Structure 1
């Protein structure tokens, strides 16, 4: 039974990937490619976290929690997750992903999406401490995750797993932070 569910989920994952690849979106291609590249090495996330640390009080704490959450999520996704699962990257040439969408194909495993994990870690940590930022940061995280499928370097399941992992890592960082500051 479990094998059938896993096979069906993999088929669904591949079908959604193929549908995204087959959808003509020339007005979106350059922007999503640029967003995907800007998110490399958590540049967007760490820039936002650093900017927040320049403000006083809750904003500074939110920036610090965001930065730590990004670091934990990035480590968990890129060092632990990718080495444990080792899912191959999609074959974007076979899926006919438009060349104008391409970003450099990473050499690491595909599962989970580290870009998405980091983006959701920031959105969850900062959004929890500064609720006014929750919606824009979550929308940014969703856009980063989608950009990874749009550019052909991740399956949708990789992105979903990254989102869950990043949010979970941020929750753990926030819980640990409450324990540290309660002493």
Structure 2
């Protein structure tokens, strides 16, 4: 049995550009966390949970396919194929390559935090990659959708 791999451990050596980008990322995260968005409290955690494992996009594809037009069904299928490829790539190669640890959630109000925090690295984002891939796949087949 192989030992567990710490995906958040950074590779040794100077990484000036990486360190600057991480510092900027930290400042942007803290800026967003400090903002008071009344509607975000109940919505964002639910939206995040709904996007886990592509559930939101599978539901969207099902709704598209239910429209019973061949173009909508092809767009839904292409969106799901894109989602599958992007998710597999990001969650294997992407996260193992970048290894960005999740930010400390101290500045985020409790109402906007998830009850169970993810354990994988946070960049590249699986949620963002899935959303972009699904939207791009659908748009390639049917820009109207």
TM class, shorter-length: 0.7 to 0.9
State the TM-score, normalizing by the size of structure 1.
0.66
Q: Deviations over 1:127-167 (max 9, x none)?
A: 2221122xxxxxxxxxxxxxxxxxxxxxxxxxxxxxxxxxx
- Matched residue count: 130
1:70 aligned partner:
83
Q: 2:32 aligns with which of 7, 14, 20?
A: 20
Instruction: Calculate the aligned-residue CA RMSD, in Å.
Output: 1.6
Query: What corresponds to 2:118 in structure 1?
Result: 106
**Residue number in structure 2 paired with 1:35:** 47
1:16 CA drift (Å): 0.4
Alpha-carbon distance, 1:52 to partner:
2.2
Equivalence for 1:97? 108
Look at both structures and tell me which one has the larger radius of gyration over its CA atoms.
2
- Residue 8 of structure 1 deviates from its aligned partner by 2.2
TM-score between both structures, scaled by the size of structure 2: 0.82
Residue 137 of structure 2 corresponds to 125
Q: Flag the structure with more relative contact order, 1 or 2, with Cα contacts below 8 A and sequence separation at least 6.
A: 2
In structure 2, what is the Cα distance between the partners aligned to 1:15 and 1:109? 18
Following the alignment from structure 1 to structure 2, what is the Cα–Cα distance between the partners of residues 62 and 84? 31
Tell me, in whole angstroms, the C-alpha distance in 2 between the residues paired with 1:86 and 1:46.
Answer: 28
Q: Which has the higher helix share?
A: 1
